Structures are given as structure tokens and as C-alpha cells.
A and B are shown apart, each in its own frame.
Chain A
Amino acid sequence: MSEMSPRWTQDPVLKVENLTMRFGGLTAIDSLSFNVGRGDITALIGPNGAGKTTVFNCVTGFYKPTEGRISLRRGRGVSDAMVDELTTSGNQFSRDGERSVFLLERMSDFKITEVAGVARTFQNIRLFGGMTVLENLLVAQHNRLMAASGYTIFGLLGLPGYRRAAEAAKEKAIFWLSHANLLDRADDPAADLSYGAQRRLEIARAMCTDPVLLCLDEPAAGLNPRESADLNTLIKYIRDEHGVSVLLIEHDMGVVMEISDHVIVLDYGRKISDGTTDAVRSDPKVIAAYLGVDDTEVDEVENDLDHDVAPTPAAPANAEGVRP
């Protein structure tokens, strides 16, 4: 049964349908559709220039897609009918008790984080370098604190309601700092941290916005194996203990194959493969895209791969970049 309909088709948290993004004459993404399962770690992979970051920017609202529908579903059992109804209504989102649907292509970037609950990190780390690590995490809780401070007025008067909220925000920041192994650096400026620590801080900061979907853009780029392992632990912790679905772009196949439940492979803005890690790893199209061979030679290459390196999960990482 699960072979026939995997979790990401049964209960998707994010459903991307016919997403197309054109920059002038260039079609970066061409009618892409995929699902992100609730509670899954979904990896979006593909060779350089395949359009992965463009997909990310569309999902998180930094780009307005040319065509397509991106629906985020909070709460289990949101029917497609509910999504269709919202689509024809022209609203940005609809709520029905526990369940709610958000059409991300209609919302602006900060609304997507604030209302829909999608948080993201960046390929080139974007921290508030001159602010301390703790302050970075407090900024991430801006909207809740803003409401608690009565849009600054209660806060200015120092009312106890705001003080309690500020304490809670600090506690939450400290919670995430301890899980990102950054607690002893809490009072240091973010720009002072090492690269790996900055990556972890960015993830901790994104988690402070209380997301349901966390989008990580190449979280393991530039990390050493030990830091990668720490990162895997952190991502798994976020998924397992906080029920946050994770969508990540990654080039490090070691990370992808180890933690992903579901892998989507893009090439030239199209989806060429979609499935579990095992299914994707043995997909001839993926091998062809990564190694750059003609379809006629795929079988041959596949056989070679099986013989030489296929048993190790990191095999495709070696092949990465060999594409012509």
C-alpha cells in the first residue's frame, strides 16, 4: 500500500502544481509539480542551474511565479476540494477549524512566514552580523513580541504582559540555542561565529518563527564531515520532536541520502525523478543528468555504477559536477 501511495501524496503539507517561472525569455522552471509530505524530510536535488533555488524563492515568496499554484496545508486531512474552493475565491488563505490552506503564490514573502508558517534559510548565510546570537533569535520572534508589546505602546510603558512575553521569547531562544550547540556563544556577535555555527544559528533562527515547513537552502555547504553530522542530527531533531516538515536543497549526497525520506530531482527546470532515496538513486534519468550521458548509454553507466560505488550512499556525490 505504501508502495502505491507514499505519504507525500496522501498527506502533503505543500503541494506545488504546474509551477512555471520565466525570467524574460528564460524558462527557469517549466511546469513543475511535486508534493512535500507532512513530517517528511524532502530533498530537492539537481545539477547546478537546475532551478532549485528558484523553486525555493517561489515557495517562500521572494519570487512571484509566472504560473502555477503552491498550496500549503496546515492540519491533517485538507481536501483538494478545499484548495480548489480557495483558488476560485481569490483569497490568500482560508481556515476551517484546525485545518487551513494558504496559497503561497498569492502572498508576499514576509506574510508567508508570518501567516502561513514557512521559514527559510539562505544559500549565502544571511544573519544579523552586528547583533548578538541571542538578539538574532529574538528578532525572529518579532511578530509575537510586537503583538505582546501592544505595538510598542505597552512595551514602552513596561507593562507586565509584555515583560512576560519577552521572558518567554528569551527562553525559547535559549532553548533553540542549546539545541544548536550555541548557548555558550549567546552574547557574541553573529558575525564572530564560525561558518558551521552560523549555519546552525540560521536554522535555529528560522525555527524561532514557529514554522510548519522549514526550507533549507544548501545547509551543508561548506561544512566539514563532523559539522555535517551535527547538522543531520539537528534537522532530524526538528522533524521528529517538533513535527516540522523540511524541504532542503543539498549538493552533499551524503546528507541527502542519509536523512531524506523523499527526493525530487530537477534538471533544466523540469522534474526528472521523484521518489524515495533508493528509487532515485537507481533512476537512469538521474544518473544520466548527473553524469551527462545519452539515454542510450544509460544502461551501461548504470551497470558500472552498481559494480563500483553504488553500495555506498555517497556515491552520487562523487559524480556531482562531472556533467558537461
Chain B
Amino acid sequence: MSSFDPTADTTPEGAERQDEERRRAAQGEPPFVEAATPESRLAGSLREAAITAGIVAAITLFFFAFRTEIAIGGLELTVRWPVWLSWIAIAFVGRFLLSFFLYRADRTKASGAAKGARGAAAVGLGKVLAVVFLLIALTLPILLDTLFPSQNRYILDLAILILTYVMLGWGLNIVVGLAGLLDLGYVAFYAVGAYSFALLSQNFGLGFWVCLPMAGLFAALWGLMLGFPVLRLRGDYLAIVTLAFGEIIRVVLLNWADFTGGPNGLLGIPKPTLFGLEFSRGEGSFSDYFGLDYSPIQRFVFLYYIILALALLTNFITLRLRKLPVGRAWEALREDEIACRSLGINTTNVKLTAFATGAMFGGFAGSFFATRQGFISPESFTFMESAIILAIVVLGGLGSQVGVVIASVVMIGGIEMLRNLGVLTDFFGPSFDPTQYRMLFFGLAMVLIMVWKPRGLVSSRSPSAIYKEKKKIGADMVAQGEGH
């Protein structure tokens, strides 16, 4: 055994090892090499970012920095340093972020549970991120007032829209992410909530706060009604029936003109009040009561806090439910329905509660949507809405709460922000209209995210009960449920 050499391919071990190295090399991974002298993560990332910035600077110098235009008597050279420098800065920051967080991140694989340190770090990061999000969300109206007073109303309106989608995403997350039941008709419950409130207020003169729980209840009832016929369905069939359900609701709303107003929709839906104080001018209004000057922004701030509270309620309840037997049963259902039944779990009830709970939050969001718009019509509840909400859930990572927030900000905020990319006209010429290309950019971004993170932005599951140590569970372990 003295001549044993584990690297010689004459010994089985050596041959195996060489074969393994070849395979690794074919996969683009270096074979076993001496560990390089460790360079600090920050320094390395900065170095790489600087190189990237340098390359970008060299390549784009003549495209971005100089521009010649035909002028009288020859060409005229214009110099555009700011454009050039801003692209260099973008390249630097982008590469730095990629290097720091991605390429130079700890190499422990994110699968399974054997990544205690990184798992713990991820938990810490998730917590920090959640707290930061929450603080920003709570103080947003004040922040906007001080930072962007001119665009205050526009951004606040956008924030309200994003939060509506966050709430819808969280609601759908219960059905798709936790219970694993693919629902392509979620917008139906949004519509039920919106029309419940609109019809109740118009026919019985009820206000927003009375109608809000009722809208949730009605939507939950419709969730049950959808749940019954699809109990036995799996996979693609489930998806198609839920899709049909969403369309049925919309078509009924469109055609039952006597009741729903048909394509004309319903007008004059009352605005929410603060303990009876209206947000308008004159006697008995909010501004009058508190002795403030009337400003239309007050109503937006109020709406913003309503939807924030509703969304936080949704989140709180969902997080709570996950740790309760019903939430665990949802996840078990996603993992294996037959095993659930063998443990005495009534899967019918589990599915129905998932549909009803998800639908209830959709209903809340719907009635908020109605009161915000003041007008609803079936056009607001097309399949496109369902697709966007589902995309938010899938992009965020099935079952992840923070993921839904990030995905909503990216998707809804991103689509809006692309309208404002006037900067691009500098490169593509004045005839370039970014609004026309925004869906293209958006689609490209989605494809990229899915290539980079196929199981969504937050693709790990955190366990609902812990014995000693909380370990993240990689997405490759977690089943996706029916219809994926």
C-alpha cells in the first residue's frame, strides 16, 4: 500500500477522482486546486467593479461621450460627459452588487439544510429587510412630503396601487404558494369584493367600513363555491376550471346589466370616512374638524394607510396561520395529498379553507379598490389581472411573504417607472418613446429573473416549527403542488 497514489488513474480511487475532475471541468468548475489566497469580499468586488467600469468606459467613449451632428458647414461635435459618466457609474454599481452579493457570496449551496451559517444570515437579512420595508411603508407619506413634494401625489397613488397588489399577492399566496392549488381566476374574488361593496352601498346606502367585512365574507363564500367543483381536479384541469370561473364572473358582471350596470359599470361609490369624517371641503370634513387647511392629498394619505393596514393584517394572519394546524395542513397538502389523507386529514376541508381564506383577502382588496376608484366596471377584472397577481406570487417565490412585496414593487412599480425613462431618448434618439417599449423591457426582466432564480426571488422555505435550530429549506426540496 506504500505505492498507493490516489491521483493515479490505475487505482480505482484515482480513476474515479480524475473522472470526477473531468466532469467538473466540463461543467465549467475548476478541478481541485489549492485555495487562492483569500481576498476580502469587499476589495475583490470593488476591483471587479472597477475593471468592468473601465471596460464600459472604453467601449462607450465614442458612442455616449461624443456625438456628431450635421450642421451648417460640416459636422458639429457635442460632448456629453454626464451621459457617459452615468453609464460608467451604472456599470460600476451593477457589477459591484453582482460581485458582492452573488459571485462572491459564500459558496455553500442553497439546497437542503446543511447551510446553517448562510441560512442564519439569510434569516437575519430577511428580518432586517422586513423591518426596513415596514418602516419605509409606515412613514412613506411623510418621506414623500419632504423628499418629493412635487410628485407627492403621483408616488403616493403608485404606492397605493402597489400595496393593493401586495395584498392580492399575499391572498393568492395562500392558495398557490401554501396549498399548492394553481388558481388562474383569482381576480374573480377581487371582482366579487369590489361589486359587493359597490352594490351594497348603492342599494342599501352602507358605508365602506360596514361593507369591508361583508365583501370579504361574500368573496370567501364564492371561494367555497369555486372550491367544491374543483376538489377532485388536479394539475392542468384545476388551472383551466379556475380560469373559467374567473371569466364566468366577469361575463356575468358584463351581461347582467340591470344589476351590475353591465359594461358601464357602477358610478359614485362612496369614499371611506374616518369615524364619519369625510375627506372633502366644508362643514364636518376631516380638515374642518382638525382645523387644517383642506388638501386633496389628505384623502390619498388616508387611503394609503387603509390599504397598508389591510395588507399588514393579511400578512399577520397568513404568518399566524402558517404556524397553526390549518396552515401546516395546507403545506402538507401541497407536498402530498395522499399522505395527508392517510394521517386522517380531511383534505376537502383543507382545500376549501385555503380557497375561502385566499378569496376573503381578495374580497377585502376588491372593496378597497372600489372605494379608491369610485367607479368599477368589468374591464378592471380581466384575466390579465389574474395573470399579474399570479406572476407576482411566482416571481416572489411560492409561499414567501417578503418575496411577494419585492415582486409587487418590481412589477407594478417597475411598469410605472418605465414610463419615466426619458433618459433613454438620449441614446435612442428623440423619436424613442419609452412607454411603447415598457412591456418589452418588462417581459425581458421577467425572463431574466426566471432564468436567474427559477423558483422565485425568495426560493427557500422557513419551517413553521423548530426543535433546536431554524434551518432554511431549499426550493429543490419543496413540492410545488398541483398544476405546476
Identify the interface centre among B317, B353, B468, B477: most chain A CB within 10 Å of its CB: B477
Question: Which residues of B have CB within 8 Å of A155?
Answer: 320, 324-326
Question: Which residues of A have CB within 8 Å of B467?
Answer: 134, 170, 174, 177, 183, 186-187
In the complex the two chains form, is B321's CB within 8 Å of A156's CB? Answer: yes
Q: Which of B259-267, B334-342, B358-366 contacts A (4 or more CB under 8 A)?
A: B334-342
In the complex the two chains form, is A128's CB within 8 Å of B465's CB? Answer: no
Let me know if A113 is at the binding interface, CB within 8 A. yes
Question: Which residues of B have CB within 8 Å of A131?
Answer: 328, 331-332, 335, 463-464, 473
In the complex the two chains form, is A122's CB within 8 Å of B339's CB? Answer: yes
In the complex the two chains form, is B344's CB within 8 Å of A114's CB? Answer: yes
**Known interface pairs A130-B477, A132-B473, A174-B467; A192-B113 also in contact (CB < 8 Å):** yes
Number of residues from B at the complex interface, CB < 8 A = 42
Contact count band on A: 35 or more
Let me know if B343 is at the binding interface, CB within 8 A. yes
In the assembled complex, the CB of A58 is this many whole angstroms from the nearest CB of chain B, namely: 14
Let me know if A188 is at the binding interface, CB within 8 A. yes
Tell me, in angstroms, the Cα distance from A296 to B474 when the chains sit together.
60
Chain B 298-336: CB-based contact to A (< 8 A → 1; otherwise 0): 000000000000000000010011001110110110111
Chain A 294-318: CB-based contact to B (< 8 A → 1; otherwise 0): 0000000000000000000000000
**Known interface pairs A134-B465, A146-B326, A186-B468; A126-B342 also in contact (CB < 8 Å):** yes
In the complex the two chains form, is A187's CB within 8 Å of B328's CB? Answer: no
Number of interchain pairs (Cβ within 8 Å):
152
Tell me, in angstroms, the Cα distance from A111 to B341 when the chains sit together.
9
In the complex the two chains form, is A139's CB within 8 Å of B343's CB? Answer: yes
Let me know if B380 is at the binding interface, CB within 8 A. no
In the assembled complex, the CB of A157 is this many whole angstroms from the nearest CB of chain B, namely: 9
In the complex the two chains form, is A142's CB within 8 Å of B339's CB? Answer: no
Tell me, in angstroms, the Cα distance from A139 to B333 when the chains sit together.
10
In the complex the two chains form, is B466's CB within 8 Å of A187's CB? Answer: yes
Let me know if B469 is at the binding interface, CB within 8 A. yes
Residue of B whose beta carbon sits closest to that of A156: B320
A129-B478, A187-B463 given; 18 more Cβ-contact pairs under 8 Å: A110-B345, A110-B347, A127-B335, A129-B335, A130-B331, A132-B473, A134-B465, A134-B466, A135-B463, A140-B343, A142-B343, A146-B329, A152-B324, A156-B320, A187-B466, A187-B469, A189-B477, A192-B113
Q: State the A residues within 8 Å of B (CB).
A: 60, 62, 109-114, 119-122, 126-132, 134-135, 138-143, 145-146, 149, 152, 155-156, 170, 174, 177, 183, 186-189, 191-192, 205-206, 209
